[in-house]
Structure 1
Amino acid sequence: MIRQILSFLAGFAVFLFLPISSTAQQSQAYVKGVNEVVTLPSSTLNEDRTILIHHPAIDSANPNKAYQVLYLLDGESHFNLLSQYADYLSRWDVDVIPELIIVGIVNTKRARDLTPSESIFNYYGKPDTTTGSYIRPSGGNGKFLQFIKEELMPYVESHYKT
């Protein structure tokens, strides 16, 4: 009798878990908008800059719709996540923010581009006399902001509906 009960319970357990394995679905990558990678030559910075651009798909009901633009520093680190957040938060059923064009600026020399003045100190606050420090060169923030204002923003405005 015990043997029959154990056989029944084993068969019932297999039957119980069978639907779970048969209804499992593969997850698919999330893609809503359009992502582009652009190489923009900069005469201000004397280098080519990689720009990541995410924009909503063209709305066939309103093809002339203009979008706000969000410029993102450290684009290589935060672009994908921010694009997905923006797409989610602008969905019709969430509707917290408007649809956006996201422009991610990929770093080439972060310490140079994001510091307003030349650093004479190292990471530990002591005078920096080395030439190979990762903090050097610094103090290029003025040119970086000029690049954004005079080269990047006009490029985005001329190629996308802003």
Structure 2
Amino acid sequence: MTIHSSILEEDREVWVYVPNSAGAERYPVMYLLDGKDFFHSITGMVGELSSIGRMPKMIVVGIMNKDRGADFTPTRSIFSRDGMVDPDFKNSGRGEKFISFLQKELIPYVESRYNTQPYRMYVGHSLGGLAVLHALVNHPALFNSYVAMDPSVWWDNHLIVKQAQEAFTQKDYVHKSLYYATSNTMEKGMDTVRVIKDTAYANGNVRNHFQFRGVLRKSKNLHWAWKFYPEENHSSVPLPSQYDGLRFIFKKYELGKDLQDTTITVAYIEDHYRSVSAMMQYTVLPSQGTVNWLGYISMGNKQFEKAYGFFKMNIDNYPSSPNVYDSMGDYYVERGNKKKAIEAFKKALTLQEIAETRKKLEMLQAKK
């Protein structure tokens, strides 16, 4: 889709991925820079990881570029890292305008048209990674989590490093997460121990990233990870670091036990999702399918009290779902409580006519 930006004084194309889901489920949102380059890889990962419970389902907003040398640079400079004039930066320094576009136009546009949760992630590579760090350092309230892939921290005489040194020691970054990825652009024969004291221009990028890691170590409450990818260059590092970034940021989202683990209790599920809700800063309910599965596993193991607890949890969390009452009906059938089973199946059918549920009800009513 295309939206007009009064702030940028131009139309801007964005691609939007929305998870397949029924009902009015709401989702956190990822804002992805260089959307044309990374949209398909990141949405594939989000779809796969969320389908196996390792991260939440997310809306992904891929932002297309017109002049990334302008949008992603926070200050005016016409020089590349080598100190030479670079025509790509003739319009540089529009970074604050771009942030304003996100804050005042794009984010409100997305949140008014899609079912969103108040959790936002910001992802960028190279100059896009610089833009991500700029937001974290100078506008930390705008996003909850950040993925910076081989960010151009050299920009404007390492300005972002200096700003981060001050911000990370003064601002409280509680509930904020950063994944920082750096590729191997060192000369052959150079290693990560010597590069820190090395002065060669060719090794400058990696040296800069190690310096930023030192700044991160002084941050206040920021949940962060920094990773060096020895087998990847600047162009290849986005793919593995996208995956690693999602896994790091949402590590506490996934259950710590396999669903077949018979030690899982209702209290365990409740405690886990309290922690997940605290991490996401909004109420996250366990998925109906997961809890239903736990109920049937418990029932199959003759752990009837536990099974009832799981089925009741689903009814409490999803009272408008016919399936949760159908499952409770199965529970009562298993327990030999015909009256309660009929009540549960009837309740399910008041919400939606489902042939299988109707068949169960008629079979029960036919019995004497």
- TM score, norm. by length of structure 2: 0.31
Q: 1:137 aligns with which of 70, 91, 104?
A: 91
Distance 2:27 2:16 in 1: 13
Quote the offset at 1:121 in angstroms: 2.4
1:152 alignment partner in structure 2: 106
Q: Distance in 2 between matches of 1:124 and 1:106?
A: 27
2:116 paired with 1:116: no
CA gap of 1:88–1:122, structure 2 versus 1, over 3 A, is closer
Aligned residue identity for 2:76: E
CA distance in 2, matches of 1:149, 1:66: 20
CA contact (8 A) 2:78 2:89 kept: no
Please name the residue that 1:102 is paired with.
Answer: 60
Aligned pairs for 1:27-106 within 5 A? 38-59=1-22, 63-91=23-51, 94-106=52-64
Matches of 2:40 and 2:19, distance apart in 1: 14
1:136 Cα shift? 1.2
Cα distance in 1, alignment partners of residues 89 and 81 from structure 2: 8
RMSD: 1.3
1:58: how far off?
3.2
CA contact (8 A) 2:78 2:92 kept: no
1:119-154, Cα deviation, whole Å (9 max, x unpaired):
14245304x3x8xx1121100000000000000000
Could you say what secondary structure the match of 1:134 adopts? Answer: helix
C-alpha distance in 1, partners of 2:28/2:79?
A: 39
Partners of 2:53 and 2:90 lie apart in 1 by: 44
| Deviations 1:84-124 (CA, angstroms, capped at 9, x unpaired) | 10000010xx2100100000001110010000111142453
SS in 2 for 1:82: helix
Q: Which amino acid aligns with 1:97?
A: M
The residue type paired with residue 82 of structure 1 is: I
Stretches of structure 2 lacking an aligned partner (at least 5 in a row): 117-368
Matching residue's letter, 2:21: I
Q: In structure 2, do the counterparts of structure 1 residues 136 and 123 end up closer, same or farther at CA, with 3 Å as the change threshold?
A: farther
Higher helix share: 2
Task: Give the paired residue count.
Answer: 116
3-state SS of paired residue (1:102): strand
Spell out, residue by residue over 1:23-42, the C-alpha distance to the aligned partner (whole angstroms, 9 max, x if none): xxxxxxxxxxxxxxx10110
SS of the aligned residue for 1:95 comes to: coil
Where in structure 1 are there 5+ consecutive unaligned residues?
Answer: 1-37
Alpha-carbon distance in 2 for matches of 1:143, 1:81? 28
CA distance in 2, matches of 1:40, 1:158: 13
Q: Name the structure 2 match of 1:161.
A: 115
In the alignment, the residues of structure 2 paired with residue 96 and residue 123 of structure 1 have an alpha-carbon distance, to the nearest angstrom, of: 38
Q: Following the alignment from structure 1 to structure 2, what is the Cα–Cα distance between the partners of residues 155 and 120?
A: 33
